[in-house]
A and B are shown apart, each in its own frame.
Chain A
Amino acid sequence: DIQMTQSPASLSASLGETVTIECLASEDIYSNLAWYQQKPGKSPQLLIYDASSLQDGVPSRFSGSESGTQYSLEINSLQSEDAATYFCQQHHDYPYTFGAGTKLELK
């Protein structure tokens, strides 16, 4: 199975700041990487697919990038509504696997 190592597990940032969350795949997943946002009590919501494509309706302050098997989610100009847990997921091969999540707290 492809392992997705996500970091950090948690982070705290201020409004207006920029944060980066990373996921390292245990093997090449050919950009088949998605990012989800989950708020307490809600289902995960797709933010980015294919490493850098923004899902319809997602604000442009969210962006994704890749370098080899390292994938990153960047959130610019943090807003209060960005406080959530973020997950990466590879959709290259079965079984589809997720990172452990990053809890983002706003100061």
Chain B
Amino acid sequence: EVQLVETGGGLVQPGNSLKLSCATSGFTFSTAWMNWIRQTPGKRLEWLAQIEDKSNNYFISYLESVKGRFTISRDDSKSSVYLQMNNLKEEDTAIYYCTWGSPFAYWGQGTLVTVSS
């Protein structure tokens, strides 16, 4: 059974950082292209970043508006993908999901990030 479990969310002040983790199981992670997607309080879905596999040199794509603030990474030995978020803004408040598949056939349960002073 495919499982994706996000952790690391919480309440953070504007300007601070947070690192999200997504632990996976049930599929061959090393060849998987992984994504982070967020859902705003208004229910809008926004794709943030994708990291490809080793055979594609771990190529990374970002949504332009988060480039330079967010960093996606992976650890194939731990079957995990990460999202480092710096200089957080109130508009980054959302539920953050990691996903696998193109399109996104598998989603985690999400982790809530609240950016507020």
Contacts and interface: CB of A to CB of B under 8 A. Distances in A.
Interface stretch (B16-24, B76-84, B85-93, B107-115): B107-115
Q: What 8 A-B pairs are tightest by C-beta distance, nearest first? A: A34-B103, A43-B107, A98-B45, A96-B47, A91-B103, A95-B63, A46-B105, A94-B61
Interface residues of B, number: 21
Contact of A46 (B50, B103, B109, B110): B103
Interface of B: 35, 43-47, 50, 61-64, 97, 101-105, 107-110
A85 B43 contact: yes
B68 to A, nearest CB: 15
B40 to A, nearest CB: 11
A43 B97 contact: yes
A49 B44 contact: no
A62 interface: no
Nearest to B43: A101
A43 B112 CA distance: 12
Contacts of B107: 43-45
A100 B105 contact: no
Contacts of A46: 101, 103-105
A42 to B, nearest CB: 8
Pick the most buried of A43, A89, A101: most chain B CB atoms within 10 A of its CB. Answer: A43
Contacts of A91: 102-103
| Most chain A beta carbons < 10 A, residue from B43, B50, B108 | B43
Given A44-B45, A95-B61, 20 more contacts: A34-B104, A43-B107, A43-B108, A43-B109, A44-B104, A44-B107, A87-B45, A89-B104, A91-B102, A91-B103, A95-B47, A95-B62, A96-B35, A96-B47, A96-B103, A98-B44, A98-B45, A101-B43, A101-B44, A101-B45
16 contacts: A43-B108, A43-B109, A44-B45, A45-B107, A46-B103, A46-B105, A87-B45, A94-B61, A95-B63, A95-B64, A96-B47, A98-B44, A98-B47, A100-B44, A101-B43, A101-B44
